[in-house]
Structure 1
Amino acid sequence: MGRGRQKAKATKQAREMKYFTPNTDYTALQRELAASKSSASSRYPEEPAEPDYSAYEDKYADQFDDEDEETRRIG
């Protein structure tokens, strides 16, 4: 197939895809979205508890100076 015919075919296919408007079934979409919300909540009934790191917050702060902040600044 020559380049002209190939390009014409690609253009035709692109045009068909661009202007293709399928019938949307909004009730099926609503059922699908409603099912995904309920199944997500049943999979994760509670968010996992994050450990409390407040005891370690300032424990090591005295060992390190603020020189890291100075080296990060550029400009």
Structure 2
Amino acid sequence: MGRGRQKAKATKQARDIKYYSPNTDYSALQRELKGPEGRATSHFANDPVEPDYSAYVDKYADDLQEDDGEVDTRRIG
């Protein structure tokens, strides 16, 4: 007993939250999404940057030449 008033209040609060619609400042949202002025390009590149492995080619060239097509039969994991 005594739960009716508590449940009614919780239901009213849930309904208020569900249908609450704050005033939206669309111009502020547009400014935020646009970003700062003067930045012409995005910091994300369209093409991923691949690391330069040319320094390692000479170092590991012997290892690549020794591999005669043998299959590694070790289990991994």
Given the two structures, how large is their TM-score scaled by the length of structure 2? 0.48
Given the two structures, how large is their TM-score scaled by the length of structure 1? 0.49
Bigger radius of gyration among the two? 2
